[in-house]
Structure 1
């Protein structure tokens, strides 16, 4: 299986859902990487 061109890092918020909905409706392949703000995952080097 090939890796999609788009890797979406998103939190469970409205701003995280908007690109997810767009990619799904546009039938664009993507990989979703969930981010947890409570554990400050957005601060990691990745």
Structure 2
């Protein structure tokens, strides 16, 4: 397993949360660790 820098880790989180909607922090971390597929976001408007 390849490890990056702490700064890179937080940049990855920023990018993911800027463009993708996660149900929880646990879902985000699970996605990052396991490359889980995302379900389509629902439009609540």
Return the structure number with greater helix share: 2
The TM-score normalised by the length of structure 1 is 0.30
Higher RCO by CA contacts (8 Å cutoff, separation 6 or greater) = 1
Q: Which has the higher strand share?
A: 1
Give the TM-score normalised by structure 2: 0.30
